[in-house]
Structures are given as structure tokens and as C-alpha cells.
Amino acid sequence: MGRSLTRCNEHQRRAAKHLPLGVSSNYRFWGEGRTLYLAKARGPRIWDIDGNEYIDYRLGYGPAVLGYAHPEVDAAAREGIEIGGTSGISTERELEVAQRIGAMVPAAEMVRFANSGTEAVMASLRLARAFTGRSMHAMVEGGFHGLFDAVLWRSEVCGADGHTEIVPESEGVPLLVGQLVQQVPLNDCERLEDLFRCKGDQLAAFLIEPIQGNCCGIPATPEYLETVRKLCDRHGVVLIIDEVKTGFRVARGGAQELLGVRADLCAFAKAVANGYPISVIAGRADIMRRLGPTVPQGGTYAAHPVSLAAAAKTLQIIAETDALARIEAYGRRLQQGIGAILKSRGVPHVFVGHPSMGGIVLSARQPRSLRDWEQSEYELYNAMAAKLNDLGVLCEPDSMEPWFVSAAHDERCLRETLEKAELAIDAALDEWHEESPESGAGGAG
Ligand code: PMP
């Protein structure tokens, strides 16, 4: 299946002598022989340094919500350059962007800017601890909140009784930090009630991605979110909603608008500036006002004028045009098309989350949590994704990662994607049957 990665592979080997794995983020290393290097990105497409063209459904894990190299956003960024750089002095546009965010996200009574999603969640967590005077926080299994010690934990089932223990996601995370972390499965109200009964008065924060952007897009149910909100209120726990992936994508007001929940604090990044580096800590004025002499937040590059100008334009387009509605409509048609191909081959499947960042899970029923995803045919999915990549459709070769759609994806992309999906699915099924002839998928016709 045809693409050559000669230059990419050669570059990876040379780069690996100077950059660990030859890349600047672990997630950009897809293995020797499969790691891409970007030459150019425009609209919904990217080109690697071998000249291979791809329709991109990764979009850098979401940021390019309007498409790459968006002319109006880039023109705004150029205006931002005219300011002259990072001066360690605030610029007037911070207020404009804060107001734009406040107009779309009711919970964003006040706003501060940082550079990455990690920074925004980290600052929110510290702020919650400062506000409550408590040190512990709870998170949901399958959630991802960045690369800092307090959130790099996952639950592992141990023993026959199914009880879980939390373990660090990385070497180098101090085990001591784990004493401050609690985890619960998504959409299990009973476990949630237990957690608050036992630890509610020690928790500073409950941290949740209401649509798990790093776990197929599995959404929290409205009932679960209602219970979370109620328990946080009852126990004085700050509800932090991580909208790093969902913000300014699944709805103008993010997952909070879509699922009808209001955060005390929330974190945004990715789509805010269509990919220019900026993130947002937002929330209740009484909590946000604690930022000051006793709770530091900031940084040399915070609210960089280039990113800020790009954010103002991106948010204006999201607020004033039908960009998000078009993204959602494209996502639905993409899912209908892929669904029809899988159905005709007898492959049980469900689409998860929101069409603008939808997961494809090869299983007969909707996953309600990470534990359900583990029961799906994710290896077959991964094989299909690898074939799609070879054919020029770029989705993450890992079924935990949803497909991201931009406002630049058009009819031609859809047609091409579905033609290639048919080829990729058939090729993956052929391999699957050769390797595991007893497997049912694809047998029912
Ligand atoms: N929260 C969520 C939900 C994310 O998906 C990510 C990144 N994928 C982060 C936080 C961290 O953001 P960043 O990579 O900008 O630090």
C-alpha cells in the first residue's frame, strides 16, 4: 500500500542522534519507519518531507479547528508581531480575548492566560488548593490533563476482587505525590458517592474532561455530571473542567454548554488560537481573584502578542460564523460513511463522543468508561488506522485518540476519505482473518 517514507526515515535516524527518539514530543514518535516529518500544512491537509499528502484528522490533537494556515488568523498573528515581542508588560488585547471567552463560556467570569494546556490545568489545581486550603485532588480514569506530576497517574486493577491502585504514568514522578491523588471510573455514580463520603472534606478539586479527548471521546452522562456538581457543592470541592480539547470545538461554550454543567474553574488551550500557543485558566471571580501576591501565576511568554492576536481572530470567527456547525455536520457524515462500510463488512462498531472529535470503537456497545474500551477490538482498529495512514488519511494509529475535524474539511476530503476507508478496512480485515481465523468480525457480511 503505497507511500514512501525514505526521507522521513532517514531524517529520523539522523535526528535521533541529537533529539531523544528524533522528535520534540514523545507523541510524535510513531516508531522507526513510521515517524513523519512535516513539510507543509494547509486547510485540512498536510504534506510530509517525502511529499506524501494526507487528509488530516489529527489536527495536532485538535488545535487547527479552522484548518491550517487560516488566512484571517495568520493575518491577525502578523499584526500581533508588529507589537514587537514579549516585553513583560500586558497588552490591551488580553481584555478583548478575555471578554470574547466570557461571552461564550458563562463559567469564565475571569480569565488568565498561559502557554499550554498543562500549564493551565496545573495553575487551576494550585488555585483550587489555595482557595480550599486542602491538598488532595480526584481525577477520572481515562482522563488526560498534561505532563505534570500531580496528574500523571492511572488506576490499575489488582487482584481478583477488582480493586484498583493508582500508579504513576511515568518514571520520575515522586510516589509521595500519589498520596494526594484519588481516581474514580467515569460514569459510576456509586463510586463517586463513595469517594466523596470518604474523602470529600479533604479534596481541593475534582478534575474532569467531560468528553474524554484522550480516551476515544467517551462522554460523561448528564446524570454523572449532575452528581459531580452536587457533591462538589456539598463538600466545598472546586470543580475543574478540562476543556483543553473540547473548548471552542464541541460548542461555542465547550463541553459545559453541550452537557449542561458549569465549572468553578476551567482550562482551555488547543482551539483557542487555531494552533498558536496560548492557554486559558478561567472561572469563578471569587476563586480567580486569589491569583495575586499569595498565589503566583504567569510566565515570560504568557499572553504572547502573536498568540493573543490569533486568539482574538479565531474566537471571533467561532462566535460569529457557522464554523462549529459545519464541523459537526461534516463529522456526522464522516461517521455515517465509515459506519456504512463497517456495517457492510459485519464489523461491530460505535461512534463515541462528539462528531467534531469522535472516537471509533470496534465494539457492539457504547463504552461508558476506559474499562469498556479495553474490551473492544482495538488491535483491529489500529491496523485499519495504519492502513489509512499509508493511503493518505491521517488519524492517530491508536484508537484512544478521536478523529478531529476542522472547518476546512470539504466534500472532496469526505469523498476521498471514504474511498480510502473502504480499502483500508478491507486490507486490515484480510490481515486480521489471516492472523486470527476464528475472529468473528467481518464474517457476517
Ligand atoms: N488536557 C487535555 C484534555 C489534553 O488533551 C491535553 C493535551 N493533549 C492537555 C491537557 C495538555 O495540554 P498541552 O499539551 O498543551 O500541555
Q: Is residue 445 part of a domain?
A: no
The amino acid present at 18, given as its one-letter code, is H
Instruction: Tell me how many domains the chain contains.
Output: 2
CATH of the domain at 216: 3.40.640.10
Pair (204, 153) in one structural domain: yes
Least confident segment among 40-44, 278-282, 398-402: 398-402
pLDDT for 33 equals: 92
- CA-CA distance, 237 to 227, in Å (whole number)? 13
The amino acid present at 332, given as its one-letter code, is R
pLDDT band at 206 (very low <50, low <70, confident <90, very high): very high
Q: Is residue 42 part of a domain?
A: yes
Evaluate if residue 443 carries a pLDDT over 90.
no
Evaluate if residue 441 carries a pLDDT over 80.
no
8 Å CB contact between 392 and 421: no
**What is the average per-residue pLDDT within 174-188?**
97
Q: Ligand 1 mean position to 432 CA, how many Å?
A: 33
8 Å CB contact between 266 and 241: yes
- CA-CA distance, 174 to 149, in Å (whole number)? 7
Q: Is residue 203 part of a domain?
A: yes
Q: What is the pLDDT of residues 382-413, one digit of tens each?
A: 999 999 999 999 999 888 999 999 999 999 99
Q: Is residue 13 part of a domain?
A: yes
CATH of the domain at 14: 3.90.1150.10
Q: Is residue 354 part of a domain?
A: yes
Pair (78, 225) in one structural domain: yes
Closest protein CA for atom 12 of ligand 1:
117
Pair (96, 233) in one structural domain: yes
Pocket test for ligand 1, best of 24, 118, 249 (most atoms within 8 A of CB): 118
Q: Ligand 1 mean position to 120 CA, how many Å?
A: 9
Pair (360, 419) in one structural domain: yes
The amino acid present at 378, given as its one-letter code, is Y
Q: What is the pLDDT of residues 300-325, one digit of tens each?
A: 999 999 999 999 999 999 999 999 99
pLDDT for 2 equals: 73
Pocket test for ligand 1, best of 24, 211, 244, 270 (most atoms within 8 A of CB): 244
Q: Ligand 1 mean position to 242 CA, how many Å?
A: 9
Count CB neighbours of 431 within 10 A. 15
Q: Ligand 1 mean position to 319 CA, how many Å?
A: 23
Q: Is residue 1 part of a domain?
A: no
Pair (337, 192) in one structural domain: no
Evaluate if residue 445 carries a pLDDT over 50.
no
Pair (226, 300) in one structural domain: yes
Report the atom number in ligand 1 closest to the C-alpha of 121. Answer: 10
**What is the average per-residue pLDDT within 214-230?**
96
Q: What is the mean pLDDT of the chain?
A: 95
Closest protein CA for atom 13 of ligand 1:
117
* Of 297, 320, 343, the domain-final residue: 320
Q: Is residue 339 part of a domain?
A: yes
Closest protein CA for atom 10 of ligand 1:
145
Pocket test for ligand 1, best of 58, 144, 301 (most atoms within 8 A of CB): 144
* Of 300, 320, 340, the domain-final residue: 320
Pair (79, 204) in one structural domain: yes
8 Å CB contact between 385 and 201: no
- CA-CA distance, 128 to 120, in Å (whole number)? 12
Evaluate if residue 18 carries a pLDDT over 60.
yes
Pair (287, 334) in one structural domain: no
Residue 110 φ then ψ, to 5°: -140, 160
- CA-CA distance, 228 to 73, in Å (whole number)? 37
8 Å CB contact between 269 and 296: no
Q: Ligand 1 mean position to 278 CA, how many Å?
A: 12
- CA-CA distance, 378 to 425, in Å (whole number)? 13
**What is the average per-residue pLDDT within 279-289?**
98
Report the atom number in ligand 1 closest to the C-alpha of 277. Answer: 15
Evaluate if residue 362 carries a pLDDT over 50.
yes
Pair (37, 119) in one structural domain: no
Q: Ligand 1 mean position to 146 CA, how many Å?
A: 5
Residues, the chain: 445
Q: Ligand 1 mean position to 346 CA, how many Å?
A: 35
Contacts of 233 (CB under 8 A, 6+ apart): none
Q: Please give all residues whose beta carbon lies within 6 A of any atom in ligand 1, as ranges.
A: 61, 116-118, 121, 144-146, 209, 213-214, 242, 244-245, 269
* Of 320, 352, 368, the domain-final residue: 320
Q: What is the pLDDT of residues 146-156, one digit of tens each?
A: 999 999 999 99
Q: What is the pLDDT of residues 106-144, one digit of tens each?
A: 999 999 999 999 999 999 999 999 999 999 999 999 999
Evaluate if residue 189 carries a pLDDT over 50.
yes
- CA-CA distance, 195 to 206, in Å (whole number)? 11
Pair (92, 49) in one structural domain: no
In 3D space, the residue among 187, 332, 355 whose CA is nearest the CA of residue 258 turns out to be: 355
Pair (54, 77) in one structural domain: no
**What is the average per-residue pLDDT within 340-351?**
97
**What is the average per-residue pLDDT within 219-230?**
97
Q: Ligand 1 mean position to 112 CA, how many Å?
A: 17
Q: Give the range of the structural domain holding residue 25, as residue numbers without chain letter.
A: 6-68+323-439
pLDDT for 340 equals: 98
Q: Is residue 227 part of a domain?
A: yes
Closest protein CA for atom 14 of ligand 1:
117
Pair (235, 307) in one structural domain: yes
Q: Ligand 1 mean position to 244 CA, how many Å?
A: 6
Percent of the chain with pLDDT over 70: 98
83: three-class secondary structure by DSSP: coil
Q: Ligand 1 mean position to 75 CA, how many Å?
A: 26
Report the atom number in ligand 1 closest to the C-alpha of 269. Answer: 15
Closest protein CA for atom 7 of ligand 1:
146
